[in-house]
Structure 1
Amino acid sequence: MNKSWKTGILIAILGIPVLAFLFLKIFGRNNFDLPYFFPEMDEEGEVIMVSGDTLFSTAPEFTLLDTKGDSVTIKNGSIKVINFFFSRCGTICPIANTFMAEVADNFKHKSDVQFYGITVDPKYDTPEILHTYSRALGIEGLNYELLTGDKKYIYSLCLEEFHLPVADASEYDPGITDIDQMFIHSDKVLLIDQNGYFRGIYSGTQKDEMDRLKLEIKVLLSQNESRD
């Protein structure tokens, strides 16, 4: 085999990956999608199906107070990231909220991605306290709001609508005085799409989980852009 044939074969072999890349770039389609969480159940505990498809829970519209003391109503229509915390927490909350702030900073120019931290200690966590906390956390100027309000309302939201555990142990044992043992809540962070469906659950204290949250927010944004 002469040199020109060898050269031609070598070029052809090297060109195959390039052609494959160009084909996928031009004609390929990213079918990666996120799962849905929290299927609706009937009174017998059976998953509710509609026309053969599972019916999934959606996040409700809710109203709380922001760090300025203003009443704000959180509606569907944008991507939301939500966690529950309290300012006096010395264990999981500082870690989770720091990771939340880092994720929020990545999307500070995306008005259709909103981050919310809801306190489970609203009697202490007044708007003024949360304003100071937000400054210390460095989230002013980000799409990240800390919210407070009526305790019973918040606990109902957490348990019944966001499907996360929460409790004030002092209500059952007045002898509990350690603040970190008093308020029991999850470290989970929820990703909710623009239609209110729950699309991701992450451990707020694990960096790899929060890195996954960043990627999956981008998936939702990409899907929204492709529909426009």
Structure 2
Amino acid sequence: MATQAPSSERRAAGGLALVAIGSILAALWYGTLRMPSARWLPDYGPVPPFRLVDQQQHAVTNAHLTGSVWVADFIFTRCAGQCPLMSGRMAQLQAAFRDEPRVRLVSLSVDPARDTPQVLADYASAYQADPARWRFLTGDIEAVRRLSQDGFHLGLSEGGTAAEPILHSVKLVLVDPQGSIRGYYDSTDAKALRQLQADARQLARRGSNGRR
């Protein structure tokens, strides 16, 4: 049976979320000043099959995302390093795509032993995540590790700092409606995030080939 995170951890997560969200409106306004034009997008291969559980305790597989453009990241809720920033960026994308229902967001926990569905639900709430648009996934650690390393080609290891004991990528990954990876974007780079928005809209509106 899943247990809730201690209230102190929830308060800490909420505080980090407020800090991360504080910059979103300004970043979103700035990002709309100039969006990159359409371009050809490379194909990095398909995301392998997976079966995980979301913050509402619903099973999620590749099939649930087929037909949607989606943006993925790897985070964990007790992270005090890059994860609050990454989740803040995802919240920014949720706001940016509010008029584009074909774009979804998926955050995968790299600490599934602690990040139960209830813990993820609390974390998602701190970022005002709409569960219909933004899913937080947890499951078997080996399945998550294979998905990160072999599926998304992103590093994942333990033994980091006290603030971030699990080392993982800060990249956001764009996946097309057929389940193929079409781009990697640095979550710390405002220009890369603007490009991600443009590329995601291009895939949603013009098909998976990413051409004009």
TM-score by shorter chain over 0.5: yes
User: Structure 1 residues 88 and 62 mapped into 2: Cα distance closer, same or farther (>3 Å)?
Assistant: same
CA deviation map 1:110-131 (0-9, x unaligned): 3321110001011111111100
Equivalence for 2:105: 115
Give SS of 1:116's match: strand
Equivalent residue, structure 2, for 1:211: 194
Matched residues, percent identical? 29
Tell me which residue corresponds to 1:106.
96
Which residue of 1 is the match for residue 46 of structure 2? 58
Give the TM-score normalised by structure 1. 0.69
Q: Give the deviation of 1:91 after TM superposition.
A: 1.3
Matches of 2:89 and 2:125 in 1, distance apart? 15
Structure with more contact order per residue of length (Cα contacts < 8 Å, sep ≥ 6): 2
8 Å contact from structure 2 (residues 110, 145) kept in 1: yes
Aligned mate of 2:57, from 69, 73, 80: 69
Q: Secondary structure at the match of 1:133?
A: helix
Partner of 1:33: helix, strand, or coil? coil
Give the TM-score, by structure 2 length: 0.74
Aligned residues: 172
1:84 touches 1:186 (CA, 8 Å); kept in 2? yes
Between structure 1 and structure 2, the one with the greater Rg is 1
Distance 1:125 1:223 in 2: 36
Q: Per-residue deviation at 1:207?
A: 2.2
Helix, strand or coil for the counterpart of 1:100?
Answer: helix
Question: Out of 124, 147, 162, which is 1:178 matched to?
Answer: 162
CA distance in 1, matches of 2:40, 2:49: 22
> What residue is the counterpart of 1:125 in the other structure?
115
Q: 2 CA distance for matches of 1:136 and 1:32?
A: 33
Letter in 2 for 1:58: P
Unmatched runs of 5 consecutive residues or more in structure 1: 1-30, 39-56, 170-175
1:126 to 1:32, Cα distance in 2 relative to 1, 3 A: same
Question: Superposition RMSD on alpha carbons, in Å?
Answer: 2.4
